[in-house]
Amino acid sequence: MADLAIRNLVKRYDKTEVLHGISLDVEDGEFVVFVGPSGCGKSTTLRLIAGLEDATSGEIVIGGRVVNNLEPKDRDIAMVFQNYAIYPHMTVRKNIGFGLRTSKMSKADKEARIDEVAGILGMSDLLARKPSQLSGGQRQRVAIGRAMVRDPAVFLFDEPLSNLDAQLRTQMRLEIKKLHQRVGNTIIFVTHDQVEAMTMADRIVIMKDGHIQQVGTPAEVYHKPANTFVARFIGAPSMNMLSGTVANGALQMASGSTVDLGVGLPEGRHVTVGVRPEDLHPGAGPALVRGPVTVREPLGHETLIYVGAEGQEVIAKADGRTPPEVGEEVTLTAALDTLHIFDAATGDALR
């Protein structure tokens, strides 16, 4: 097992630079999830770590070794692909054993290792089957098995759950997390699904346009987003963004009310006030938003209400039993410590 580090990693295709010098340290045994919209460079980063593509500049260090000039097989990594990349003409046993082809183990040791991995993944009785006889989740497990059998320092997962249906995805998410707790290898997991990132990761790396936006634990990126992009990307439904200005040390909201946060903010600055739907609710307190309810979405224990204000729709949480009627004017408020303040110009968090 080993730690992994990337330093000033740059990737350029002809003249287009897709990764602009990213750096990251991953500790031994850590589960790190790269998340971001498509085209943000997360898969490219993974392929660079795997050695399937060459870095334009920068260093990749695995277990204290710079691996830039090593072939993928010499990097002590294993990868699980989005389409599983398991061979349809081979049995499960041969597929899992494929990762051991170059190993110097004896044949008996190899067989024992395959059986051990199959046991961990709960598919000992499926070893003689062909992939076409397996379900999607089982195929996924074969792909993981093939990676596990080599006992690599670092596991790389490239959106492995996106071909599964919603229910199976939830289940495999849990299985991969349990597997990580059991085998303890370092895992780098790429996904575009923020729920996957939140639920599985020890630390989340949020990327956009070839830059890292924020690195942190799920709680950190959720409660202390570094900028408006992270704030909107993490959490569903996404964070409401309201505009305001700082006047006399207090927030002057577009709704007309003034909110004194009791912290020093740069005077006269235009700011974006972020508030998560679950923190925003109708009631007495500093009025952040005023407007008519346009749509109600009952979820049973609570009701989401959409309120038209400031030329946009703001989502708030209302009581499940007695929500406001559609068309009713409501005043939305939130606890002051749940407000996120961003610079309106740069999008960076001010508090």
Partner 1 sequence: MYRNLTIRQKQIVWAWAFLAIPILFYSVIRFYPTGNAILISFQDWNLLGDRTWTGLDNYQKLFADPVFWKVFKNTFVYLLIGTPVSLLISFVIAYHLDQVRFMHGFLRTLYFLPFMTSAVAMAWVWRWFYQPVPVGLFNNALASIGIPQFPFLQSTTWALPSVLAPAGWAGLGFQVIIFMAGLRAIPRSYYEAARIDGVSWWTVLWEITLPLLKPTIVFIVVFSSIGFLRIFDHVFNMTTNNPGGPLNSTKPLVLMIYETAFSAFDMGYAAAQTVVLFLVLLVVSLIQLRILRDS
β partners of residue 186: 154
Per DSSP, the residues of 111-136 read HHHHHHHHHHTT-GGGTTS-GGGS-H
Distances (CA, A) of 200 to 171, 204, 243, 276: 12, 9, 33, 22
The smaller minimum CB distance to partner 1, of residues 43 and 257, is found at 43
β partners of residue 6: 24, 60
The smaller minimum CB distance to partner 1, of residues 161 and 318, is found at 161
Give, as ranges, the residues between 161 and 190 that touch partner 1 (CB under 8 A).
none
**Residue 99 engages partner 1 in binding (rule: CB under 8 A):** yes
**Residue 243 engages partner 1 in binding (rule: CB under 8 A):** no
Name the segment binding partner 1 (CB under 8 A); options: 45-53, 183-191, 268-276, 325-333. Answer: 45-53
Residue 99 near residue 146, CB atoms below 8 Å: yes
Query: What contacts 78, CB < 8 A, 6 or more positions away?
Result: 99, 146, 147, 148, 150, 152, 154, 155, 156
144, with CB counted inside 10 A (0-12, 13-18, 19+), is buried
Residue with tokens 């749509």: 295
The CA distance from 227 to 234, in Å, is: 11
The smaller minimum CB distance to partner 1, of residues 8 and 83, is found at 83
- Nearest C-alpha neighbor of 92 from the set 119, 126, 117: 126
**Residue 124 engages partner 1 in binding (rule: CB under 8 A):** no
Binding mask 52-71 for partner 1 (x = CB under 8 A): x------------------x
CB of 250 to partner 1, least distance (A): 56
Q: Is residue 220 classed as helix, strand or coil in its secondary structure?
A: helix
Among 9, 40, 67, 78, which residue sits at the site for partner 1 (rule: CB under 8 A)?
78
Residue 76 near residue 154, CB atoms below 8 Å: yes
CB of 91 to partner 1, least distance (A): 12
Name the segment binding partner 1 (CB under 8 A); options: 85-93, 193-201, 253-261, 276-284. Answer: 85-93
Q: What are phi and psi of 221, to 5 degrees?
A: -70, -25
**Residue 348 engages partner 1 in binding (rule: CB under 8 A):** no
The CA distance from 67 to 51, in Å, is: 8
Name the segment binding partner 1 (CB under 8 A); options: 50-58, 192-200, 243-251, 294-302. Answer: 50-58
Q: Give, rounded to a whole angstrom, the gap between the first and last alpha carbons of the chain.
A: 38
Residue count of the chain = 351
**Residue 150 engages partner 1 in binding (rule: CB under 8 A):** yes
**Residue 88 engages partner 1 in binding (rule: CB under 8 A):** yes
The smaller minimum CB distance to partner 1, of residues 185 and 255, is found at 185
The smaller minimum CB distance to partner 1, of residues 132 and 248, is found at 132
Among 74, 260, 328, 348, which residue sits at the site for partner 1 (rule: CB under 8 A)?
74
Among 21, 58, 72, 292, which residue sits at the site for partner 1 (rule: CB under 8 A)?
72
The smaller minimum CB distance to partner 1, of residues 62 and 226, is found at 62
CB of 90 to partner 1, least distance (A): 8
The smaller minimum CB distance to partner 1, of residues 1 and 90, is found at 90
Q: Which two tokens stand for residue 294?
A: 């346009």
Query: What contacts 187, CB < 8 A, 6 or more positions away?
Result: 30, 31, 32, 154, 155, 156, 157, 176, 180
CB of 156 to partner 1, least distance (A): 9
Among 77, 123, 164, 206, which residue sits at the site for partner 1 (rule: CB under 8 A)?
77
The CA distance from 218 to 195, in Å, is: 10
Among 89, 104, 182, 301, which residue sits at the site for partner 1 (rule: CB under 8 A)?
89
* Binding footprint of partner 1 on the chain (CB under 8 A): 50-52, 71-74, 77-79, 81-83, 85, 87-90, 98-99, 101-102, 146, 150
